[in-house]
């Protein structure tokens, strides 16, 4: 059957599209969300997934195929032009959004008086299944945030906390690079610099 369709497409120089729905179930491999048999994936030369939330103007377009490079794009619906507009690479957009969600969760959790939390506590706070792909993304993102010094290690192994936001403290005089003395009698925007 596939060979007949390939011959038909090549003979008439057309592309044959097979359009189906996605299942609502979360899957580790996005293309397994294609409704129906996994065999549908095997009979195509390329697959594109268009996925949007039920009540959201944000969506994603993901592609994979034999003759194309894999791609994942984030798009947003523009109600004025009635078109989806490109926002950027999906993983970069998700990374930024994940970081914001993590910071908000840590701030909310810290209102309890604690300031160090595990990724699992953040995941539970966000009401996400601990076995989901999104939970694994949060764990990885928190590790990356630590490497980027957006989070710091807690006293207990496996915990993270937000870095102290207070301004750095200076003694009256500290010797800086190039033999300069930085006077910090008071914290201000204008530091007095004198040569020694």
| Dihedral of alpha carbons 80, 83, 86, 91, sign | positive
Position 140 in a domain: yes
Please check whether residue 15 lies inside any domain of the structure: yes
Domain-located, residue 116: yes
68 in any annotated domain:
no
Residue 166 lies in a domain: no
pLDDT band for 6, please (50, 70, 90 cuts): confident
Alpha helices in 13-110 (DSSP H): 39-42, 90-110
Asked whether residue 186 is domain-assigned, the answer is: no
Total domain count, the chain: 2
For the ranges 5-19, 74-88, 97-111, the lowest mean pLDDT is seen at 5-19
* 182 has a pLDDT exceeding 70: no
Q: Which residues are bridge partners to 73 per DSSP?
A: 61, 89
What the block records as the tokens of 177 is: 């690079």
Structural domain of 39:
1-44
Q: H helices of 130-182, where?
A: 133-147
pTM of the model: 0.50
| Residue 17 located in a structural domain | yes
Q: Does the pLDDT of residue 164 top 80, yes or no?
A: no
Q: Is residue 173 part of a domain?
A: no
Report which DSSP code applies to 43. T
């Amino acid at each position: 059957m596939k060979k007949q369709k390939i011959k038909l497409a090549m003979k008439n120089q057309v592309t044959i599209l097979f359009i189906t729905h996605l299942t609502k179930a979360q899957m580790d491999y996005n293309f397994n969300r294609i409704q129906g048999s996994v065999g549908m994936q095997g009979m195509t030369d390329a697959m594109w997934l268009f996925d949007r939330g039920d009540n959201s103007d944000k969506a994603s377009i993901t592609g994979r195929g034999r003759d194309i490079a894999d791609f994942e794009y984030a798009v947003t619906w523009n109600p004025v032009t009635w078109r989806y507009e490109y926002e950027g690479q999906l993983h970069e957009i998700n990374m930024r959004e994940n970081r914001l969600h993590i910071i908000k969760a840590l701030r909310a959790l810290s209102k309890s008086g604690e300031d160090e939390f595990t990724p699992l506590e953040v995941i539970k706070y966000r009401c996400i299944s601990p076995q989901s792909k999104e939970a694994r993304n949060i764990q990885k993102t928190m590790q990356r945030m630590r490497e980027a010094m957006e989070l710091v290690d807690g006293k207990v192994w496996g915990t993270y906390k937000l870095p102290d936001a207070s301004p750095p403290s200076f003694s009256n005089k500290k010797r800086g690079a190039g033999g300069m003395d930085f006077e910090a009698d008071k914290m201000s925007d204008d530091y007095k610099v004198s040569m020694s």
